[in-house]
Amino acid sequence: MSEDSFIPPHGHYTELLSYQKAEVVYDLTFRFCGRFLSKGDRTIDQMVQAARSGKQNILEGSKASGTSKETEIKLTNVARASLEELLMDYQDFLRVRDFPIWDKASKEALYVRKLGNRSHTTYETYRTYVETRPAHVVANIALCLIHQTNYLLDQQIRRLEQDFLKEGGIRERMTRARLQQRSKLPHP
């Protein structure tokens, strides 16, 4: 941020790992619902909208961050809450069908986590597994990805809190910029 500017750089959401993972979660959920849920099932709408909300609120928060840290924090938290809702939908899917939920230390979960440890993850990383495996495997892959995304969002929210405490909000930055500008003006 330059000395004369009080609006920091913002809106680079595609660089956020949380956004990248949330986009994969959305793509996977869209395809999961199309493959494994019956047309007309209200759960489809709920799951797709929760996945979309997770992704879109990260984007919206990032775009608003230049002028409202409060909005960025709120929307990032909404993204986190939406993904938690989606997590429950996948767990419900598995539970009511008597499918197992992978333990986080299982070889399957560790494999999915390892796949996601790349610097830039897209749906293509998971396409083969999502489009060829049975419902319970795909649902468990989704659970792993949602847990990863939620972890990243928790870290992001903590960082946003710290940044706000350190730098303040737009009004504080505006006041500092105005005072700096005044100090440069010649005095009569």
In a domain, 24, yes or no: yes
In a domain, 7, yes or no: no
* Spatial separation of the C-alpha atoms in residues 175 and 116, rounded to whole Å: 43
pLDDT tens profile 12-47: 788 899 999 999 999 999 999 999 999 999 999 999
- Strand (E) or helix (H) holding 90: helix 69-96
* Spatial separation of the C-alpha atoms in residues 139 and 92, rounded to whole Å: 10
* Spatial separation of the C-alpha atoms in residues 69 and 99, rounded to whole Å: 42
Give pLDDT, residue 188.
65
* CATH code of the domain containing 86: 1.20.1440.60
In a domain, 151, yes or no: yes
Tokens 């009004």 belong to which residue? 171
- From 54, 70, 69, select the one nearest 16 (Cα to Cα): 54
Question: How much is the CA Rg of the chain, to the nearest whole Å?
Answer: 21
In a domain, 150, yes or no: yes
Would you state the structure tokens that stand for residue 38, as one six-digit string?
Answer: 């019956």
Range of 43's domain?
13-115+124-184
**pTM assigned to the model:** 0.85
Q: What percent of the chain has pLDDT over 70?
A: 85
Mean pLDDT of the chain: 88
Strands (E), the chain: none
Q: DSSP string spanning 45-58?
A: HHHHHHHHHHHHHH
In a domain, 3, yes or no: no
Q: What pLDDT band is residue 116 in, cutting at 50, 70 and 90? A: confident
In a domain, 153, yes or no: yes
Q: What pLDDT band is residue 177 in, cutting at 50, 70 and 90? A: low
Query: How many folded domains does the chain comprise?
Result: 1
Question: Where does residue 42 rank: exposed (0-12), middle (13-18), buried (19+ CB within 10 A)?
Answer: exposed
Kindly tell me the number of DSSP H helices and DSSP E strands found in the chain: 7, 0
